[in-house]
Chain A
Amino acid sequence: MMHPVRTLLAFVLLVLITLPAMATQPDEILADPVLEARARTIGAELRCLVCQNQSIDDSNAPLARDLRLIVRERLVAGDSDEQVLAFVVDRYGDYVLLQPPFKATTLLLWAAPVLALISGALLVTFVLRRRGGDPDAAPALTEAEQRRLDGLLHPAGGKDSGA
């Protein structure tokens, strides 16, 4: 009896591994190098939906190949890069975009780094300000240290040591 998680993992690995990563095939490449370059840029932005975190450019899954062909078809038909991306998103949803779109559900995702940087910087400024003080001033001695110092400076007789 196989473990359910392992069955699933094995399945995922199978999908990943049985398809050596050959990605873009020679017969897909467009004759026009400018169009092909645009196709590659778009391809790197699109997720291979049946793979784990691979772009369609890096994947050898049949679905990725289909998507690569669709991208090239649309480019040859004269679409702009944005139109091609919109065409794919219409059919597969936002999930297909490796760069998440800017919208309500991803607001936090995009805002998080900026907020973290700003609040971190403010916190640092606040703490440094509050601490303040003269860095050259020696830290105050504790009572015990003061006593020891006194003991060294003024040994038993109360006279100055041979300074």
Chain B
Amino acid sequence: MIAEIGHFALALALLVACIQAVVPLYGAWRGDARLMAVGNTSAVALIVLIGVAFGALTWSYAVSDFSVQNVYENSHSLQPMLYKIAGVWGNHEGSLLLWVLILSIFSLAVAVLGNNLPITLKARVLAVQAMIAVGFLAFSLFTSNPFTRLDPAPLDGRNLNPLLQDPGLAFHPPFLYLGYVGFSMAFSFAVAALIEGRIDAAWARWVRPWTLAAWTALTLGIAMGSWWAYYELGWGGWWFWDPVENASFMPWLAGTALLHSAIVTEKRGALKSWSVLLAIIAFSLSLLGTFLVRSGVLTSVHAFATDPERGVFILLLLVVAIGGSLALYAWRAPLLKADGLFAPISREGGLVLNNLLLTVACFTVLTGTLYPLALDVVAGAKVSVGPPYFEMTFVPLMVPLFLALGIGPLMPWKRADIRGVLHRLRFVALITLAVWGLVWWRATDSSPLPAFGIAIAAWIALSVFLEFSVRIGLFRITLGESLRRALHLPRATYGMMGAHLGVAVLVAGVVASSSWRTEVIRAMEPGQSQEIVGYTVRFDGVAPAQGPNYSAERATFTVFRDGRQIAVMQPEKRFYPVSATQTTEAAIRTTLIADLYVVIGDQTAGQDVWAVRMYYNPLVPWIWFGSLMMFGSGLISLSDRRHRIGAPTRARAPSGVSPQPV
């Protein structure tokens, strides 16, 4: 019964979404305030209905109702409750439901918080949001119904994929989707603005916080996924340029570009049509990401072809959403006139460079991800595009971006004196060069490139500190006055500096962990010890262990440093009988500067000899510290009052100007 209620609510939601997609739009065209107001009511109805559907599916999972096919395929009665719930979005059908639920939350936010928006803009935004909802609800109902029943009901379920039974991955999809769907706000505003044929500061002031919120969530989602890969996949890698990873990285890159271009649009009234285009691109890539991962098209073109129903629907949805919005853009964008003029050497110029490099980087990742697919379809030839390609094309684009990151924030709007800015940066540049030389000398690498990477991180970090000291007038005015200024800096400024500092920390982690890691692979017997970068690791043996829904072989290692015992590490190999799969659980001991990473492998038949892999990964935790700093900075920036106030009310503006004597 519960599942049927959910199914019914989903069908009703489609109906409501259809109404919301048409009526407010028509109302805005006719200038009918009553018709436009329909969007406000329907947004509430939509979230209630989708909430009921999502709740019904979650309930079916929580009570393990295996007569629901979706629950049967992705859950098991012995699974811990956390993973029963995570199972709701750990599959194609349920994740679509989560997607529309988040979409309806964002729509509600527009309906409730958008009273200071021009009324026609608000109505159009709500209509565009509803059009997206129609697409997804129809896709869910007609091709991916999560409420399909099984008769007779099976006795027990088939288990959630054990790789997904992990706290890091349980919350990875919701954050990813918050990011993907968050970009729908920027998209809806962009399309609404194109229909209106007008963009003003109010538009950018609305788009910025929503883009920032989406970006913040996506940052955390991607970081969680990479952290999970690091400790769960068992060989210490954290980024593989896998199509699935690229699918989430592309919207992030486009979103980062949009975040920066929207600043120029808000503050200077320039880059208007470019910001609109970026908003369309960011969401289009989110759509692509959602479907690339879920459709299986990346595994093989043929998987796509074997399920024509879903495949055709997906293609249709992508063509309508992306093609439609781009066509609208081509038609209407010339109406959006920019008025903020600026010289090439200026803050705006720096942000344009940022956008150029980020967009090209995003395009490069897109090319590398889709090329094998395209070549297979067009020429029938098979080619692999792996990490070496992305490292050769993506990294060279990041170097100028990071160099510019140090310079850009120090430049004033409109026009900058590049000599003066570089003069300010001379000490930062000197220290950066010194770091490069010192690290190269100390690391005794033959190549200067890893040390250069660390120097780039130092360059970013130092220039952020320089920017901070310039802003608070450090050493130019009294210390007390500087402190007072520091306290009064806007939170958005702290957010920006924190995020940039996070980039520095992330870069250092990426460079060090991929350049200087130490690896030991050997067979060990209990009692044997192995030296690795100053640690002595003794293998004590392997014992069986039992989890709630798996059995495990748990190894014990004792770690010594300078003859003193400092840690016991217990990597596991888990076996999940229901799905007959095995997972590895690495044991990780972190000093925050470096990780010691131990994995237990196969046993030599008939002997107490085990394959053991150990890694010493320098600075690898910094990858996630850096990501967390970016996430936290996003939150700090979002809490800035100026973001929350939103746009000033248009109608009040004229009377608000008091006729003061000039």
**Residues in chain A within 8 A of chain B (CB atoms):** 3-6, 8-9, 12-14, 17-27, 29, 44-45, 47, 52-55, 58, 93-100, 105-106, 108-109, 112-113, 116-117, 120-121, 124, 128, 131-137, 139, 148, 152-153, 155, 161-163
In the complex, B267 has a CB within 8 A of chain A: no
In the complex, B359 has a CB within 8 A of chain A: yes
User: Is A18 a contact partner of B375 (Cβ separation < 8 A)?
Assistant: no
Q: Which of B296, B383, B415 contacts A9 (CB 8 A)?
A: B296
Smallest CB gap from B384: residue in A: A47
Q: Which of B162, B163, B383, B659 contacts A106 (CB 8 A)?
A: B383
Instruction: List 9 A–B pairs whose Cβ atoms lie within 8 Å, in order of A's numbering.
Output: A5-B307, A18-B582, A20-B582, A20-B583, A22-B234, A24-B521, A98-B384, A99-B386, A136-B415
User: Is A153 a contact partner of B341 (Cβ separation < 8 A)?
Assistant: no
Closest 7 A-B residue pairs measured CB to CB?
Answer: A98-B386, A99-B388, A22-B601, A26-B523, A113-B364, A135-B414, A95-B382
User: Is B300 a contact partner of A8 (Cβ separation < 8 A)?
Assistant: yes
1/0 contact string of B110-124 vs chain A (CB within 8 Å): 000000000000000
**Shortest beta-carbon distance, B228 to chain A, in Å?**
13
A117-B397 CB under 8 A given contacts A98-B386, A106-B383: yes
CA distance A3 to B309 in the complex (A): 12
**Shortest beta-carbon distance, A136 to chain B, in Å?**
7
Chain A residues whose CB sits within 8 angstroms of the CB of B386 once the complex forms:
45, 47, 53, 55, 98-99
> Using a CB-CB cutoff of 8 Å, which residues 77-92 of chain B contact chain A?
none
A17-B163, A124-B356 are known contacts; what are 17 more A-B pairs with Cβ within 8 Å?
A: A5-B296, A8-B299, A8-B300, A8-B303, A14-B581, A17-B581, A21-B233, A22-B234, A45-B386, A105-B381, A109-B383, A109-B389, A117-B397, A135-B343, A135-B414, A136-B415, A152-B662
Q: Which of B341, B580, B662 contacts A133 (CB 8 A)?
A: B341
In the complex, B182 has a CB within 8 A of chain A: no
CA distance A6 to B384 in the complex (A): 24
User: Is B307 a contact partner of A23 (Cβ separation < 8 A)?
Assistant: no
CA distance A65 to B179 in the complex (A): 39
Q: Which of A8, A26, A99, A120 contacts B359 (CB 8 A)?
A: A120
CA distance A136 to B359 in the complex (A): 29
> Using a CB-CB cutoff of 8 Å, which residues 205-260 of chain B contact chain A?
233-235, 237, 240-243
Smallest CB gap from A55: residue in B: B386
CA distance A5 to B93 in the complex (A): 13
Chain B residues whose CB sits within 8 angstroms of the CB of A139 once the complex forms:
269, 339-341
Smallest CB gap from B392: residue in A: A99
Chain A residues whose CB sits within 8 angstroms of the CB of B371 once the complex forms:
100, 106, 108-109
Chain B residues whose CB sits within 8 angstroms of the CB of A27 once the complex forms:
523
User: Is A4 a contact partner of B306 (Cβ separation < 8 A)?
Assistant: yes
CA distance A55 to B470 in the complex (A): 48
**Shortest beta-carbon distance, A131 to chain B, in Å?**
7
Q: How many residues of B contact A (CB 8 A)?
A: 74
In the complex, B547 has a CB within 8 A of chain A: no
A155-B389 CB under 8 A given contacts A5-B296, A12-B299, A93-B382: no
**Shortest beta-carbon distance, A11 to chain B, in Å?**
10
CA distance A118 to B197 in the complex (A): 31
**Shortest beta-carbon distance, B115 to chain A, in Å?**
25
CA distance A98 to B307 in the complex (A): 29
A113-B662 CB under 8 A given contacts A5-B303, A22-B584, A25-B611: no
In the complex, B342 has a CB within 8 A of chain A: yes
CA distance A24 to B613 in the complex (A): 9
CA distance A41 to B581 in the complex (A): 30
User: Is B341 a contact partner of A21 (Cβ separation < 8 A)?
Assistant: no
CA distance A136 to B414 in the complex (A): 7
In the complex, B639 has a CB within 8 A of chain A: no
**Shortest beta-carbon distance, B26 to chain A, in Å?**
29
> Using a CB-CB cutoff of 8 Å, which residues 593-610 of chain B contact chain A?
599, 601-602
User: Is A135 a contact partner of B346 (Cβ separation < 8 A)?
Assistant: yes
**Residues in chain B within 8 A of chain A (CB atoms):** 73, 161-163, 233-235, 237, 240-243, 269, 295-296, 299-300, 303, 306-307, 310, 338-344, 346, 349, 352, 356, 359-360, 363-364, 367-368, 371, 375, 379, 381-389, 392-393, 397, 414-415, 521-523, 573, 580-584, 599, 601-602, 611-613, 654, 659, 661-662
User: Is A109 a contact partner of B522 (Cβ separation < 8 A)?
Assistant: no
Chain A residues whose CB sits within 8 angstroms of the CB of B338 once the complex forms:
131
Chain A residues whose CB sits within 8 angstroms of the CB of B397 once the complex forms:
113, 117
Q: Which of B161, B237, B385 contacts A100 (CB 8 A)?
A: B385
User: Is A109 a contact partner of B367 (Cβ separation < 8 A)?
Assistant: yes
CA distance A135 to B367 in the complex (A): 37
Which has the most chain A C-beta neighbours within 10 Å: B243, B352, B363?
B363
Chain A residues whose CB sits within 8 angstroms of the CB of B392 once the complex forms:
99
User: Is B306 a contact partner of A5 (Cβ separation < 8 A)?
Assistant: yes
Chain A residues whose CB sits within 8 angstroms of the CB of B581 once the complex forms:
14, 17-18
CA distance A29 to B612 in the complex (A): 13
CA distance A136 to B413 in the complex (A): 10
**Shortest beta-carbon distance, B139 to chain A, in Å?**
15
User: Is A29 a contact partner of B521 (Cβ separation < 8 A)?
Assistant: yes
User: Is B367 a contact partner of A58 (Cβ separation < 8 A)?
Assistant: no
Q: Which of A13, A23, A45, A128 contacts B161 (CB 8 A)?
A: A13
**Shortest beta-carbon distance, B594 to chain A, in Å?**
21
Chain B residues whose CB sits within 8 angstroms of the CB of A113 once the complex forms:
360, 363-364, 367, 393, 397
Q: Which of B295, B344, B387, B584 contacts A98 (CB 8 A)?
A: B387
Q: Which of B162, B352, B414 contacts A124 (CB 8 A)?
A: B352
User: Is B306 a contact partner of A95 (Cβ separation < 8 A)?
Assistant: no
User: Is A163 a contact partner of B296 (Cβ separation < 8 A)?
Assistant: no
User: Is B307 a contact partner of A128 (Cβ separation < 8 A)?
Assistant: no
CA distance A114 to B324 in the complex (A): 29
CA distance A21 to B341 in the complex (A): 56
Which has the most chain A C-beta neighbours within 10 Å: B296, B299, B386?
B386
Q: Which of B243, B346, B584 contacts A53 (CB 8 A)?
A: B243
Chain B residues whose CB sits within 8 angstroms of the CB of A131 once the complex forms:
338, 341
**Shortest beta-carbon distance, A145 to chain B, in Å?**
11
Chain A residues whose CB sits within 8 angstroms of the CB of B233 once the complex forms:
21
CA distance A28 to B93 in the complex (A): 43
Smallest CB gap from B370: residue in A: A109
User: Is B296 a contact partner of A8 (Cβ separation < 8 A)?
Assistant: yes
Chain B residues whose CB sits within 8 angstroms of the CB of A17 once the complex forms:
161-163, 581-583
User: Is A20 a contact partner of B364 (Cβ separation < 8 A)?
Assistant: no
A9-B299 CB under 8 A given contacts A4-B306, A135-B342: yes
CA distance A25 to B613 in the complex (A): 9
CA distance A133 to B415 in the complex (A): 12
Chain A residues whose CB sits within 8 angstroms of the CB of B303 once the complex forms:
5, 8-9
Chain A residues whose CB sits within 8 angstroms of the CB of B162 once the complex forms:
17
CA distance A139 to B270 in the complex (A): 12
Chain B residues whose CB sits within 8 angstroms of the CB of A93 once the complex forms:
382
**Shortest beta-carbon distance, B346 to chain A, in Å?**
7
User: Is B363 a contact partner of A112 (Cβ separation < 8 A)?
Assistant: yes
**Shortest beta-carbon distance, A160 to chain B, in Å?**
9
Smallest CB gap from B522: residue in A: A26
A97-B384 CB under 8 A given contacts A5-B310, A21-B233: yes
Chain A residues whose CB sits within 8 angstroms of the CB of B310 once the complex forms:
5
